[in-house]
Structure 1
Amino acid sequence: MIRDSSTLQKGQLLRVEINEVKDRLPQNILEDIRKEPIVELVGYKMVDGNEFGLVVKLNNGEINWFFEKELSEIM
């Protein structure tokens, strides 16, 4: 889980935590993430009044967004 997304930089690689997203994503996207859980940060998205979403590019080139708790930093 990412605790402070303000320290992240565009282009940074992150890992999708599959157990955090498996209940909300379509099966085809889940399969892509299972094959390659590493994604690239491309931006931010305001998702509600007090939370940001992280916009990422999946390995297949598709753009999607996730909450901070659904991603983790790669050390």
Structure 2
Amino acid sequence: MEVGQKVRIRRLRDRVSDAVVKRLGQVGTIQSYKMTDGSGVGVLIQFDDKFSTWFFEDEVEPAS
């Protein structure tokens, strides 16, 4: 996955706020990467309404 790529939120690993749960199935754009726990990488996703948050890489998939 690359910065600028469109991705779909396919699952959520952890408990999250309702604002993030509403993003399940939505498409957003990768803005940057984030180190998670020292062994993983997350991606910062921005949605069309300018809301942004990060997800683990296995929570997103390329949007077609």
Count, aligned residues: 64
Structure 1 segments unaligned to the other structure (5+ residues) = 1-7
TM-score of the two chains, using structure 2 as the length reference: 0.82
Q: Which has the higher helix share?
A: 1
Return closer, same or farther for 1:68/1:22 CA change in 2, 3 Å cut-off: closer
Correspondent of 1:15 among 3, 8, 20: 8
Q: How does 1:1-75 map to 2 (within 5 A)?
A: 8-17=1-10, 20-21=11-12, 23-31=14-22, 33-34=23-24, 37-75=26-64
For the pair shown, the structure with the greater C-alpha radius of gyration is 1
Identity across the alignment (%): 25
Structure 2 segments unaligned to the other structure (5+ residues) = none
Asked if 1 retains the 8 angstrom alpha-carbon contact of 2:13 and 2:59, the reply is no
TM-score of the two chains, using structure 1 as the length reference: 0.71
Q: Encode CA deviations 1:18-70: one digit per residue, 9 max, x unaligned.
A: xx217522113322x15x61010000000111100111102321120000110
Asked if 2 retains the 8 angstrom alpha-carbon contact of 1:13 and 1:40, the reply is yes
For the aligned residues, what is the CA RMSD? Answer: 1.9
